[in-house]
Structure 1
Amino acid sequence: MNSLQKIGQIRSTQHFRKVAIAACFGTFLEWYDFLTFATLAVVLGPLFFPSNDPNAGLLASLATFGVGMVVRPIGSALFGSLGDHIGRKPVFMITIALMGLATVSVGFLPTYAQIGIWAPILLVGLRLMQGLSAGGEIGGSAVYLTEHAGNENRGFKTSFLQLMGPLGILVSTLQIAFLQQWLSPEEFEAWGWRVPFWISILLLLIAFKARMALEETPVFLELSKHAEKNESQLMNNFKDPEIRKRMFLLFFCISSSGAILFFCVQVYTTIFLKTSVRLNPALVDQLSIFATMMLFPLTIFAGWLSDRIGRKPVVLGGILLGVIFIRPAFQLLQYFGGLYIQFSTNSSIAGIGVILTLLSLTLGLVVGPQTALLAELFPAKNRNSAATLPHNLAAGWIGGLLPLIVTWLNQVWGNSLAGLWYPTLFLGAAGITAFFYLPETKLTKLAK
């Protein structure tokens, strides 16, 4: 390699790093805003949905979280189509502004005790706004970053985007843990829970400025020269049998599996340990931070591994591990949690840590290659709309409703583990389908 080639390679690496930081920070903000609500579900229940039955308040709070997930496909249909029509960058600016406005507003929302029934109505409305924004951001950002990544080591380069969801939870959890330690329970309930939503104002300004400096993807610029963006591709996606088939595989096998594991590992474990096992909330937050920290290197490793042996075997490995391990993992969490409550032994906490690490490995194997897969499955002219709709449909309808469905099934059957058969059976069906029909995509040329 001569000196000019080396300079070109350095500039290319620096350019991608700049794009990756800006895209990832914006996606982090989306996840931070969106998932802070889930982290505070136990707190928000009695404030906005007061009830004599604590379980009813929790279910109402989880249902409100689920509402934001359910409308994500609508946002993905709207913003995904716009991404193919006007460009990836303009859509980024719209979605992040919408998410920031909704999140900041939650921080100033009066509670049920202050304005009555209007409090939950307004909260649900803001969650709907967040859901529409997330639908355009999550999936579209994967396409944007992958189109900038080139054809070499795409799995590794784009795996960092998958860390933004766990990072959003981590930052939110750290804030809440600090606030709960610093404030009295009365102060936290009165105003402390609002602080994470207020902080999003600063994060929004930083992310907006970073995204203003972003460039349109080279793939979309090439399409623009040939005027292939004048027509919305959303309806055309369903007319093409091959694209329709790949959209289904993305929805059912990749995105649904990733969403189920994400909400099992990153969201439901916290709810389970606080409400079913009844561990101290501060201890649960510490365990959640540990699990998230373990997920970071495991996700990057899975992305790197998918560049070596292929996307399909890595994703299938994660799905299979999920089928085998999800329900026993929560049973073991319950067992070790019970031991800790009785005897306060360090070995019990160590056991919980091992279980959470294995759950993080399961999630990392599925989501590590996911960013690259989202873009590689589809041709350039309809990639944004074809990828974002099934991905958000899976995340919204399958993953987003999982905590609510599992909690409801647990209550119906009177067993804190009964609802976990739902994600187990779903993962089993997704794994079988992926084994027979999911194509290998690591050699795909994105400019097609």
Structure 2
Amino acid sequence: MIESVGMKDAISAVSASDPGATGEPLADASTLRRVIFAASLGTLFEWYDFYLYGSLAVFFGGLFFPKGNDTAALLASLATFGAGFGVRPLGALVFGHVGDLVGRKYTFLITMATMGLGTALIGLLPTYASMGLVATGLLVFLRLLQGLALGGEYGGAATYVAEHVPDDQRGFYTSFIQTTATLGFFVSMGVIGLTRTTVGEAAFKDWGWRVPFLISFLLLAVSLYVRLKMSESPLFKKMKAAGKVSKNPLKESFTNPVNLKYVLIALFGATAGQGVVWYTGQFYALTFLQATLKIDWKTAYTLVSIALAITTPLFIVFGRLSDKIGRKKLILAGCLFGALTYYPIFAGLKYFSNPDGLPKADPAQINYVAMVILLSLQMVYVCLVYGPIAAFLVELFPTKIRYTSMSLPYHLGNGWFGGFLPLIATWVTATDWAKNTFGSGAIYTGLLYPIGVCIVTLIVGGLFIRETKGHHIDADVHVT
């Protein structure tokens, strides 16, 4: 079993007069509201930027990749989407290192600028029809730039908020950060849908697809303005004033065997399962509706958007609940429910969208209420695993290396295990093995991947992680 870093020795060393040691906030109520708003708004914009491509992954296959094989184009588009996730751990290391050396505020000002520019420039790219593989290469480069920026964003925002709030309400306050990923996804779908409806399908395919990306110039200006008004984290300022800032956060995070153990257990016992639950419920479900069930994009977006709107408040509900009953129980419950019910949920999506087994779903035959219920059920699992994860991670590591240490397992779990899920699942369903072994049931074989990862997380998390809720995070002592 493991204990949270600093759980015993550090707490005993903290005097009751220290802010946060007895559950008192590290900032007044007005400051807390500004902190939550600024961090959440900026992170929402970053997720909007990152998810624009994900929301258009099916559509982009014909814009930036050779035509002639629709399945190959879709896989290439999903691989490019996954490439942005692939470099997120590198961004976590680079920006986490800077954030622990220089400070939280200035680091995610840099990540915001990088993400905003990378997204806006996608809106100015030539397509494959005009520049061939040069256009493809530029798209991949900008996706990598986005992934690098996002790798530094989440850890900074979560750390920044957590270092302002009382110990006994950390799950509640950090859960507002957790809503931004889903809201960013939701907003990206809304902007894309509005643009496609406004300019028409022909114009959208010609030039209208650029509009949602170019809007990022405006969002970048707003985000930078909001974040420039933020002050540095009080815990980081206190640590810096005491001369206790880490001289080499990367070395202290990953060559210290105790801290490295926490990083690995956080990855396999929490964030890997959380990542696949999240991306199964949002991205793979959307890809499945369009590419496998042949539901038109407008219907698919509407169904997923309704499910998101219904369930997003549960991030905050489960974040608050984690302050009462613990982070571990909720995270592992979401993984357990996913492992047990993904197959019947996706089989239900197929049945209620196409009960007659037609080559393409007939809108008149779709049971929209049942579809929303099944999609919402997946979103509930997402809220269970994602609502408490920020609080869990920040409580696991000491202040001087928190940004670096928590960012890597988070982005490995979400960027690699989760980010590549649509590609892996779609590829598995297209293999001859799946078709020959399962026949018509091959469309569900992609679910073997998220179910398997959830089982691993249940085993590792259940055996090796103890509860972290309520721990005082102003600590730099490892429990041995």
Indicate whether 1:56 and 2:76 are aligned.
no
Map of 2:60 onto structure 1: 44
Map of 1:223 onto structure 2: 239
Counterpart-to-counterpart distance in 2, 1:233 and 1:10: 24
Map of 1:379 onto structure 2: 398
Q: How is 1:210-359 mapped onto 2 (pairs within 5 angstroms)? A: 210-339=226-355, 341-342=361-362, 344-345=364-365, 348-359=367-378
Counterpart-to-counterpart distance in 2, 1:248 and 1:9: 31
Counterpart-to-counterpart distance in 2, 1:343 and 1:431: 39
Residues 106-140 of structure 1: CA deviation (Å, up to 9, x unaligned): 00001011112100010001111111101111222
Counterpart-to-counterpart distance in 1, 2:94 and 2:26: 37
Displaced runs of 4+ in structure 1, greater than 6 A?
8-11
Counterpart-to-counterpart distance in 2, 1:301 and 1:291: 16
Counterpart-to-counterpart distance in 2, 1:331 and 1:208: 44
Query: Kindly tell me: are residues 150 and 10 of structure 1, through their superposed partners in 2, closer, same or farther at Cα, counting changes over 3 Å?
Result: closer
Q: Is the CA contact 1:68–1:127 (under 8 Å) kept in the aligned structure 2?
A: yes
State the shift of 1:241 in Å.
2.6
AA partner of residue 143 (structure 1): T
Q: Is the CA contact 1:142–1:374 (under 8 Å) kept in the aligned structure 2?
A: no
State the shift of 1:334 in Å.
1.1
State the shift of 1:9 in Å.
7.9
Q: Which SS does the other structure have where 1:386 is aligned?
A: helix
Counterpart-to-counterpart distance in 1, 2:255 and 2:119: 37
Map of 1:5 onto structure 2: none
Indicate whether 1:443 and 2:459 are aligned.
no
Residues 60-113 of structure 1: CA deviation (Å, up to 9, x unaligned): 110001111101111110100111101111101110011111111000001011
Query: Kindly tell me: are residues 274 and 374 of structure 1, through their superposed partners in 2, closer, same or farther at Cα, counting changes over 3 Å?
Result: same
Map of 1:125 onto structure 2: 141
Q: Which moved more, 1:264-273 or 1:247-256?
A: 247-256
Among residues 99, 109, 118, which one is paired with 1:83 in the alignment? 99
Counterpart-to-counterpart distance in 2, 1:326 and 1:142: 29
Counterpart-to-counterpart distance in 2, 1:230 and 1:387: 15
Residues 392-429 of structure 1: CA deviation (Å, up to 9, x unaligned): 12221111111000000000023211111111011011
Map of 2:411 onto structure 1: 392
Counterpart-to-counterpart distance in 2, 1:75 and 1:365: 26
Counterpart-to-counterpart distance in 1, 2:462 and 2:225: 43
Q: Which moved more, 1:318-327 or 1:227-236?
A: 227-236
Q: Is the CA contact 1:82–1:232 (under 8 Å) kept in the aligned structure 2?
A: no
Among residues 180, 185, 191, which one is paired with 2:201 in the alignment? 185
Q: Is the CA contact 1:16–1:148 (under 8 Å) kept in the aligned structure 2?
A: yes
**What is the root-mean-square deviation of aligned Cα atoms in Å?**
1.6
Counterpart-to-counterpart distance in 1, 2:303 and 2:170: 32
Q: How is 1:70-149 mapped onto 2 (pairs within 5 angstroms)? A: 70-149=86-165
State the shift of 1:310 in Å.
1.0
Query: Kindly tell me: are residues 426 and 230 of structure 1, through their superposed partners in 2, closer, same or farther at Cα, counting changes over 3 Å?
Result: closer
Counterpart-to-counterpart distance in 2, 1:292 and 1:329: 16
Query: Kindly tell me: are residues 306 and 352 of structure 1, through their superposed partners in 2, closer, same or farther at Cα, counting changes over 3 Å?
Result: same
AA partner of residue 141 (structure 1): A
Which segments of 5 or more consecutive residues in structure 1 lack a partner in the other structure? 1-7
Alignment TM-score, normalising by the size of structure 2 = 0.89
Query: Kindly tell me: are residues 342 and 210 of structure 1, through their superposed partners in 2, closer, same or farther at Cα, counting changes over 3 Å?
Result: closer
Indicate whether 1:368 and 2:384 are aligned.
no
State the shift of 1:345 in Å.
4.7
Counterpart-to-counterpart distance in 2, 1:361 and 1:245: 30
State the shift of 1:183 in Å.
2.4
Counterpart-to-counterpart distance in 2, 1:263 and 1:191: 29
Q: Which SS does the other structure have where 1:416 is aligned?
A: helix
Map of 1:4 onto structure 2: none
Among residues 445, 449, 453, which one is paired with 1:422 in the alignment? 449
Residues 295-321 of structure 1: CA deviation (Å, up to 9, x unaligned): 312211111111111111111111111
AA partner of residue 396 (structure 1): G
Query: Kindly tell me: are residues 241 and 194 of structure 1, through their superposed partners in 2, closer, same or farther at Cα, counting changes over 3 Å?
Result: same
Counterpart-to-counterpart distance in 2, 1:291 and 1:270: 11
Which segments of 5 or more consecutive residues in structure 2 lack a partner in the other structure? 1-23, 436-441, 476-480
Q: Which SS does the other structure have where 2:252 is aligned?
A: helix
AA partner of residue 67 (structure 1): A
Residues 261-300 of structure 1: CA deviation (Å, up to 9, x unaligned): 1111111111110110111211111111111112312211
Q: How is 1:149-160 mapped onto 2 (pairs within 5 angstroms)? A: 149-160=165-176
Counterpart-to-counterpart distance in 1, 2:452 and 2:210: 38
Counterpart-to-counterpart distance in 2, 1:78 and 1:311: 28
Query: Kindly tell me: are residues 360 and 85 of structure 1, through their superposed partners in 2, closer, same or farther at Cα, counting changes over 3 Å?
Result: same
Q: Is the CA contact 1:49–1:57 (under 8 Å) kept in the aligned structure 2?
A: yes
